[in-house]
Structure 1
């Protein structure tokens, strides 16, 4: 299945978020334009393969048993990316707003899934700079190179510098 997703920074101090869902995701393999991850979400585990670059990528998901997931997690490349996901309806779309913890503390990203690359969507006031094409903000790269390693550059991006 092709996933069309755009990603944006969230303007600080505008959203008051409640009732999010905790996510942890481990990267098992990562290469140029592809990744394999295991995500713990809502009490279960899902394996996801993503292939491609840009806003349209192939995505394959499959539920895992606890034993399968734990076996794969034992071979993770690094510590998991931890975040709390909030769903916010705006216009005809549902936005996923991820508030990161741990080594990516302070990062808030909003994602919207679309049916077409050129599909129109409303941009709520809390949406900041688009980072869809910036590899630094892909979760696979945030696992390997969290913003705690480049916080001053992150703050400059957040402030639009």
Structure 2
């Protein structure tokens, strides 16, 4: 399945007033190869295994395969992962027919808040709420696979 999404930094915490739900996420990577990443995720009380292909030149599109797996199996797979885990809280905000997934990061990525929106096409028009900041689609520093090995605390002064 093709995933088309755009990513933005978030300016402030105003989005929390609009959030319909939130969940804690723990994730790590079995492989961070640039051509394909393999991720294990605990999302609330569920486990997931995800494989993502290489991103398009503009960073908006890539192949993604995801399967829910038993939580106990996901927890076992964390032992196979490369060093560096991601911890974040994901908020869902519904706005004019779109869902923004907003991740507030913890640990070494503390202070980073990223909003993602999935689209039907890379140029699809959507309403940009006031809390949405600079677009970082295609900036590999903000890929979770990269944040797990080069956290935001290492580069936040360069954005």
TM normalised by structure 2 equals 0.90
What pairs with 1:1-161 in structure 2 (closer than 5 Å)? 1-17=1-17, 19-53=21-55, 54-153=59-158, 157=159
Cα distance in structure 1, aligned partners of 2:97 and 2:15: 19
Deviating above 2 A after TM superposition, structure 1's stretches of 4 or more consecutive aligned residues are: 12-19, 65-68
Once superposed, what is the RMSD of the aligned Cα atoms? Answer: 1.5
SS in structure 1 of the partner of residue 137 of structure 2: coil
TM-superposed CA distance for 1:93, in Å, is 0.5
Cα distance in structure 1, aligned partners of 2:99 and 2:72: 32
* Unaligned ranges ≥5, structure 1: none
Cα distance in structure 2, aligned partners of 1:111 and 1:66: 25
Cα distance in structure 1, aligned partners of 2:13 and 2:50: 32
1:117-157: per-residue Cα shift (whole Å, max 9, x none)? 1211111111111001100000000001001122322xxx2
* Unaligned ranges ≥5, structure 2: none
Cα distance in structure 1, aligned partners of 2:69 and 2:43: 11
Cα distance in structure 2, aligned partners of 1:15 and 1:88: 7
